[in-house]
Amino acid sequence: MTARGFPSALIGLACLLGAARAAAVPMLACADQAEIPPFTFAERHDGVASEQVIGASVDLLKEIGREQGWDIGVQLLPWARCLQDAANNRFQFVINLGRQEARSGQLLLSEPYFRMHSVYLYSRRLHPKGLELKSLADVHGYRVCGLSGYRFEAFGLNTADVDRGTTRSYEQLTAKLHLGRCDLVIDSRETIAGMYLINPKLRHLLVDGSLGMAALPGAPLRELYFGMPAAAPQAQALLKALNEGLRQKKTAQRIERLVDHYLD
C-alpha cells in the first residue's frame, strides 16, 4: 500500500469484483477513537483495551468484505483526522459516518445500515430536580457539548455553537456536564447502552444517579453509513459492491442481530 493512496491492487478493482479472486485485497477503514459501542470499540481483556477493533459495524463491514474478497483492517483515530485522512485516500472506508459529516462532498455515502435513537444527558448534581425538554426546539435554551468532529445541524443547532473543542472521550463530556461547562450532551440510546458495558466510569455515573438521561423529543433518527473517498480510483464500483452487500444483510436483518449480540 502506498503511504497516501489505495493498495495498488485496487487499480484492477474490476477483477476484484469478479467471481474469481486469487487473494483478498487489503483495505483500511477508520472509526472514531472515542469509541461508539456497540458499533465500534476496542476489545477489552481484563478491562484493558487492546488494539483489536470490534463491534457490530466492524463485523458487518468485514462480512461484506469477505464476500467481496477484501481483507479489511480497522483503526481508531480522532474523528476529525479519520474523516480528513479518508478524504485524502489514506483509508478506503469510514465507519459510522453521518450524513452531516459527509456534507463536503469529499466522502461518498453508502446506504444507511442502522438508525440510532437520540437521547440527552445532563448532570443531576447541577439539576437535582431533573432537566425536561418538551420539544426539540428546547435545546436552544441550553448549552450543548459534543465530541470533536461531529455535526449537530440535524438537531437544529449550529455546530459552531456546540462546545466541542478537542473533546474526544465520554469522560471529558461528563466532566464538562458536572463542572457546568454545558447543560446537555446529545447522544444515542444505543451508544450509551454500549458504553455502559465497556466504560466502568460511565457505568458508575449512570448507576449512582449523578447523570440523568432522557429521550430527545422530536429528534430525527440518526442514520449510520459507511463512507469512502469520492476521489478514489473506481469509487463508484466499490460503492456499488458495498451497497449490494448491505442490501443483502439488511434483508436478513443482520445488523440488528449483531447489535443485540454485543448488548446481551
The structural domains of the chain, with segments of one domain joined by +, span: 8-114+224-263, 118-215
pLDDT at residue 19, as a whole number: 44
- Averaged pLDDT, 189-202: 87
- Averaged pLDDT, 32-53: 92
Is residue 239 within 8 Å of 228, Cβ to Cβ? yes
pLDDT at residue 12, as a whole number: 52
CATH code for the domain defined by 118-215:
3.40.190.10
User: How many whole angstroms separate alpha carbon 242 and alpha carbon 213?
Assistant: 35
Decide if domain 8-114+224-263 falls under CATH 3.40.190.10. yes
Give residue-wise pLDDT tens across range 227-248: 999 988 889 999 999 999 999 9
Question: CA 104 → CA 6, 28, 100, 111, distances in Å?
Answer: 21, 21, 9, 18
Give residue-wise pLDDT tens across range 130-157: 999 999 999 999 999 998 888 899 899 9
Helix 254-263 with 189-198: angle, nearest 10 deg: 40
- Averaged pLDDT, 61-81: 95
Considering the entire predicted model, what is its pTM? 0.80
Q: Answer positive or negative: Cα dihedral of 62, 197, 180, 123.
A: positive
Domains 8-114+224-263 and 118-215 share a fold: yes
